[in-house]
Structure 1
Amino acid sequence: MNITKSPSTLLLAIYLIIIGCSGAFGISLGALSIIVPCLAIAAGVLLLLGK
């Protein structure tokens, strides 16, 4: 299995894993919940820029 070298795809994958785990298992990130929207914004911007 190869891990992607594209930063936008990697951030999107991390974001989706976090959202999936928090939804499926009811995990609360507490004060770290600011990370999730930041990851989403960063992945979206990088995808739009084609990085």
Structure 2
Amino acid sequence: MKRSFGSLLLGIWLFVSGLAHLLHLSFSGMGVAMAVIATIAGALLILGL
């Protein structure tokens, strides 16, 4: 099964987002980092990469 880089980034984003909410994890700039990962993952999925 071939997995795209966009799917991998999306999986990472979902995993980190879920852990952050369950364990109340936070760091300075986490919102920006999560937004950047989500934007890149979305763009890669749209491009089919």
Asked if TM exceeds 0.5, the reply is yes
Identity of aligned residues (%): 31
Residue 26 of structure 2 corresponds to which residue in structure 1? 28
Stretches of structure 2 lacking an aligned partner (at least 5 in a row): none
- Deviation string for 1:1-51 (max 9, x for gaps)? x8x6310000000000110011111000223x1211000000000111111
Aligned length: 48
Greater RCO structure (CA 8 Å; 6+ sep): 2
Stretches of structure 1 lacking an aligned partner (at least 5 in a row): none
Matches of 1:11 and 1:24 in 2, distance apart? 20
Residue 8 of structure 1 corresponds to which residue in structure 2? 6
**3-state SS of the aligned residue for 1:43?**
helix
TM-score (normalizing by structure 2):
0.84
RMSD in angstroms over aligned alpha carbons?
1.7
